[in-house]
Amino acid sequence: MHSKEGCGKMRVYIDGSVGTTGLALEGRLLGLDYVEIIKPDGRLRKDLATRRKYLNAADVAFLCLPDDAAIEAVAMVDNPTTVVIDASTAHRTTKGWAYGFPELSKQHREAIKSANHISVPGCHASGFSALVFPAIKAGYIDANSPVFCQSLTGYSGGGNQMIAEYEDGSVKQSAAKLYSLQLAHKHLPEMQHVCGLANPPVFTPILVNARQGMVTYIQTTGYPAKEIWEYFNEYYASERLIKIMALNAASSLELEGMNDMEGMEIYICGNDSQAVLAARFDNLGKGSSGAAVECMKVRMGYE
């Protein structure tokens, strides 16, 4: 198996390389001189035997696939040294899979370092967990009480079909719209599981007529915003991809301020008894392909 200390480049295969996440992932990997992307002829990219061959030839195999196809791909891997990093929803709460958010805790980072199965967090779930996981540990949020969350997102998170609908002019799109109003968003199980909540959060995402960008936010009551801000500063002090902005740094927050960047900004604003906690990041970066590459770097010793 490839190692940082060994010779040769790291062989990386992207199963599902023509989707939004796969294309963005390949673009990020092309900038890494220690990575060799291995790929079949385009006509064979969906052929099962070809996929099996490349999955088992890779040091790291990224899955940028629908859930059923990701589960199928994992079953085809019989090389014990292949590291599988799954960007789908399929394995985010599965026992034996490391959750790919190393900044959440030392335990999360150590699990990624030793895992051959790593699940990349969902975009909304990334912002939610970055806020709620520490807040529960500190007691600012009760894991047994309802947690309410909103999240603004660009349309690129909807994949190639949604991007086309917004950009080819064939469908008139509104400036913003609520969705998943039946409170059954696919990230809910992961949000609840990762943060240890007794019940799923009440989560209402908002789709914005902008290509990319994300702001996920919650509100708290009963604690001074300054106290929460001081705690978050200490909690994420050693994490270079999580930046805690100055207390009350924003009176408003626009969507696209972290586009094409790797990390996440956390804003804490409020008064002596109420606070708004907001995470701003690129839904295609820390919320998707950027997080997948970060998992690879942590696991393979290139962080």
Residues labelled catalytic: 123
Give yes or no for a contact between 91 and 119, defined as CB atoms under 8 angstroms apart: yes
Give yes or no for a contact between 200 and 148, defined as CB atoms under 8 angstroms apart: no
Sign of the CA dihedral 277, 267, 238, 222?
Answer: negative
CA distances from 214 to 52, 174, 291 (A): 35, 17, 14
* Closest residue by Cα to residue 59 from 75, 40, 44, 37: 37
Give yes or no for a contact between 238 and 96, defined as CB atoms under 8 angstroms apart: no
Q: At what angle do helices 159-167 and 20-29 cross, to 10 degrees?
A: 100
